[in-house]
Amino acid sequence: MTGSSTYLDYNATAPVRPQVKAAMMAALDLVGNPSSIHAGGRAARAVIEAAREAVAALIMVPAQTIIFTSGGTEANGLAIESAVAAGSRRLIIGATEHDCVLETALASGAAVEIWPVDANGVADLAWLGERLARWDRADGRPFAALMLANNETGVIQPTGEAADLLRTYEGWLHVDAVQAAGKIIVDGRGCGADTLALSAHKLGGPQGTGALTFGPRAVLSRRLHGGGQERGRRAGTENLPGIAGFGAAASAAMTDMAQIKMQAAWRDEAAAYLKTEAGIQIVGEGATRLPNTLCLAKTGFSADLQVMALDLAGIMVSTGAACSSGKVRPSPVLTAMGLEPLAGSALRVSGGWDTTQLDWTRFAQVWLEANQRHQSRRPASAA
């Protein structure tokens, strides 16, 4: 709940947490470049290192493996571009990856292959095994990108199993954990990632701050050149307030994981109600999903009309990936799942740290009323 409105678009961005605002205000009061060795610089450096420890704790990795970036897009790009610089000439990209992963891969100069998914949006491990068995060593080290949880459907991917297959061929697995972190327990090494990307604003932190963590099998190359910040891996004066906010968001996310987990029951109750009353289809229902995410579709009720009707009632949701808003094209995620006919009517509802059961209940009631009004206006032959 946000004021008198119901905000259910956390997968686009989460409201900033009170702890984050406090941490950022405190950081703004500091005067000193974190690279300076005087007292002001040392105070700023201490804030950054405390945040690094907090972010590392959230995903259970050593703090020295955290590189702060401008967001999840840069973190994903740093991993992909590093792999290409290290000699990977062919990249395997999951069919439901975020656009920033696919577009970076396509722009890298390497060949790109799309890794298919099943009808629930789960990556086809048999396909990966067969493809790796035919790998041409002239293509360099195998590299694959597989997000931990999908931003549109919430479907959780088998990254550990994928990593096992890749390591048989000395491959590199990159995991985009932007949507997963703070919503489920993320073990940065246990999930098999050689590199893993995060973003602060999905956790209730500030926009414009992210991180990449790397394991011992990753070979990173600096893509932003200049000073020696981030242990020489990412040049540029650090975003002190943003990083401080990221650390505060990571710490808060660890404490309210149980509340996020409870949302699965609230979401499922709302979904069951709408299935019974309106016959909606739930995308990815047969797979394990994030507890906060519901992707539903109702044939004949366009996603744009659904969003507008809900918005007029004070409920904020999305038609899919927020960064794809305004693009007149079917969701690549649903298309990859073989659900292109539903793509134009798919709605994404996502809760977070400040969401209540009442928010989910209100959403379901208002959506049903909007659907009933819409259906009453349609010709009988179109119903």
List the catalytic residues. Answer: 323
Q: How far apart are CA 255 and CA 45, in angstroms?
A: 25
CB 234 within 8 A of CB 222: yes
Q: How far apart are CA 42 and CA 36, in angstroms?
A: 7
Q: Tell the residue number behind the tokens 């050149």, with chain if given.
A: 225
CB 232 within 8 A of CB 222: yes
Looking at the DSSP bridge assignments, the partners of residue 6 are: 315
Q: How far apart are CA 244 and CA 161, in angstroms?
A: 34
Helix (H, G, I), strand (E, B) or coil at 134: coil
How many other CB atoms are found less than 10 A from the CB of residue 112?
14
> DSSP states of 47-110 as a string?
HHHHHHHHHHHHHT--GGGEEEESSHHHHHHHHHHHHHHTT--EEEEETT--HHHHHHHHHSSS
